[in-house]
Amino acid sequence: MNPKREIVVVGGGFAGVQFIENINTDLYNVTLIDKLNHHQFQPLFYQVATSQLEPSSISFPFRKIFQYKKSLQIRMAEVLRIETSSNTVVTTIGNFVYDELVIATGCGNNFFGNAEIQNNALTLKSTAEAIDLRNHILRNFEDVISADESDMESLMNLVIVGGGPTGVELAGAFAEIKRNILPKDYPGIDFSKLNIILVEGSKSTLSSMSEHAQNASVAYITEMGVTLRTELYVTNYDGKIVTLSNGEIIKTKNLIWAAGVTGNFIEGINKEVLAKGNRIKVDRFNLVQYTNNIYALGDIALMCTPKYPNGHPQLANVAINQAKNLAKNFKLKATHKTLKEFEYKDLGSMATIGKHKAVVDLSFYKFSGYFAWFIWMFLHLMLILSVKNKIIIFINWAWNYFTKDSSLRLIFSTKNK
């Protein structure tokens, strides 16, 4: 009997977790490498950042997820590079040799080469960053109480850059906090002077969605009091002043960057396979070009097909289904059967802006409003990994719905201001 082949998976996001869940460990030994010890449910980061959910509600320890998975090793480490000549992954805790390598590293923030924005902006690409954002915003409101008049403008301007789902979800959440919570928490402050400003480079928010979704999202956020600035870019931010592409400046100590993503590329991969946005070119089986044993999944992968000539959208559903297909193909390969090409069936996209305010794009129907909001909540709740967390999130959502409040506005930080 031949020994099991070794698969190393780098990254425990949607793609990495689903691949391991579906891989047949009777046929393969698997090692998961991630710099964190937990899976993060990225679609709800904004709810942690806006004090609607606790971080533990959307974070799932790998060792708990895979408690009963045979032939799986989990290593908490940062990958430094890949040495393809020796089939080795070099990490901060040592080297790992693979027969097959699966890269599922996802994406990070794209600052378009502007180091000053990168150093000063608030970001939302991890649970830890969501906690930092929550701490910063809550601290900002505490500072408003005793601030000099000269500082008040920069404290009362909250700028969100990027009008995609993350941007509109944050803008809507902060608008509801401004209306329902802040006046009760800080009765001596006039929060009508709090400006929530959403800056978007294209003509509309949710530019990747349908015209119906774009129009509805614009109507919702403006109705909620958000100032929308379209067809403008942020050219610089020094921590105090935002400079826009038209020369306008905005004083703020609160700039949240949600304007773009770039692939989390690992050194050692042939740079000829890199495409726009640092995505790795793969074939219909997720095999990286010019390799025979390295695969890429999810947001980091760029697979061009007749239906998607420019690659698939960077959505959780794409990552999940690519991972499932690759796991099946590994079984087929081990049993010398014909592999199955990946074909994505677009189930639609959605975004929520606030209570009773959401948009849903399906292939056959576009709709918005209360029903769209309910569908958004139901589907996201179903994607949560554990029953316990589903219940906790549902209770939090129900409490917030009926009381228009939460008890999660806690500042936990070891950092000084």
pLDDT in tens, 83-92: 999 999 999 9
What pLDDT digit, counting tens, does each position of 189-244 carry? 899 999 999 999 999 999 989 999 999 999 999 999 999 999 999 999 999 999 99
Tokens representing residue 396 in the block: 């939090």
Which regions of the chain carry the CATH code 3.50.50.60? 5-35+77-109+261-334
Alpha helices in 53-126 (DSSP H): 62-65, 115-120
Taking each helix axis as running N to C, give the angle between helix 316-334 and helix 14-22, from 0 to 180 degrees, rounded to the nearest 10: 30
Q: Hey, which residues does 349 pair with through a beta bridge?
A: 361
Tokens representing residue 118 in the block: 């990168």
Q: Hey, which residues does 28 pair with through a beta bridge?
A: 5
What is the model's pLDDT at position 413?
72
Q: Nearest to residue 285, comparing CAs of 339, 205, 243?
A: 339
Please say whether the dihedral angle defined by the alpha carbons of residues 388, 394, 397 and 399, taken in this order, is positive or negative. negative
Question: What's the length of the chain?
Answer: 417
Tell me the mean pLDDT in the region 29-42. Answer: 96
Q: Nearest to residue 257, comparing CAs of 138, 120, 354, 156?
A: 120
366-368 and 357-361 strand pairing: antiparallel
Which regions of the chain carry the CATH code 3.50.50.100? 115-259
Tell me the mean pLDDT in the region 33-58. Answer: 94
CB-based contact 302:273 (threshold 8 Å): no
Alpha helices in 224-352 (DSSP H): 316-334
Query: What 3-state DSSP class applies to 183?
Result: helix
Q: Hey, which residues does 61 pair with through a beta bridge?
A: 38
CATH of domain 5-35+77-109+261-334: 3.50.50.60
Q: Hey, which residues does 195 pair with through a beta bridge?
A: 157
What is the model's pLDDT at position 231?
96
Q: Is the pLDDT of residue 408 over 80?
A: no
Q: Quick one: residue 25, left, alpha or beta (phi over 0 = left, psi -120 to 50 = alpha)?
A: alpha
What pLDDT digit, counting tens, does each position of 184-198 carry? 999 988 999 999 999
Residue 369 identity: G
Q: Nearest to residue 321, comparing CAs of 17, 6, 18, 84?
A: 18
What's the topology of domain 115-259?
FAD/NAD(P)-binding domain (3.50.50)
Strand (E) or helix (H) holding 40: strand 38-40
Report d(CA 180, CA 331) in Å as an integer: 53
Q: Nearest to residue 360, comparing CAs of 333, 381, 388, 379?
A: 379
Tell me the mean pLDDT in the region 45-61. Answer: 93
What is the model's pLDDT at position 415?
60
Question: How does 53-86 read in b/e, with b if 16+ C-beta sit within 10 Å?
Answer: bbbebbbbebeebbeebebbebbbbebeebebee
pLDDT class of 409 with cuts at 50, 70, 90: confident
Query: Edge-to-edge strand order for the sheet containing 241-244?
Result: 234-237, 241-244, 249-251
What is the model's pLDDT at position 346?
85
